[in-house]
Structure 1
């Protein structure tokens, strides 16, 4: 092993100085480009993804702010909330009811529609004092899918 190292050092010394500097510069360039490729570039891609997600959130925020406030009215009694009335309210609002199930003091429903209409419908439920047990929202382009569970009391 020592002999190989000595042989390589001897060969390196025989290379002209300008070529040594050129090889060293190429080595450092290779190291720098490798570091950039594995650290900086993926970080920048993640930053771009986060910026796009933030822009999408801003669009949703603006849509929520444009929703008209509903006139004041008497809240419906939480006891009158049934699976049938919930389905009827959703369809009357122009939403697609994808799943509806009533069990053990709760109603689970999955709806889909334009985001403004979904938010307005959820706001109306909240205003009518419906008690939310669970709510999950998923944006799909301009449409919004909501899966919610409401308490029957």
Structure 2
């Protein structure tokens, strides 16, 4: 059967009498058990998202190259044009937003004053006003990159 023929064929619904029914012997799930299962599923999901973000972000060569471009030994010697600063700032902002997407989970998985301070620094860097003047724009770019680098260092040290 071709795809168009399948689309032209009317869909048949199952006879309600043939559908499985819940038997009297099946025990209903208590609302407390359902709440616990839901909470646990949410925690597992948050943990998986965080680990995926950290793993993808920390190990990507693109991230290393980005941080090297902004903070590396030769970064201070290169004069960046305003368009390049905007492009790098956008990339650093996206990176930092991914890393700080679930701050409560970061604090839970990596407890301590260092992580609390790193998250505050990252959030401050993200909320800092954007400047179109060359020097403040480069300073903000470097703050974003430093905050991302610090978070990645802390996460990597605890893995």
Structure 1-normalised TM-score? Answer: 0.31
Structure 2-normalised TM-score? Answer: 0.31
Considering fraction of residues, name the structure with more strand.
1
- Whose Rg is larger? 1
Higher relative contact order (CA 8 A, sep 6+): 2
Considering fraction of residues, name the structure with more helix.
2
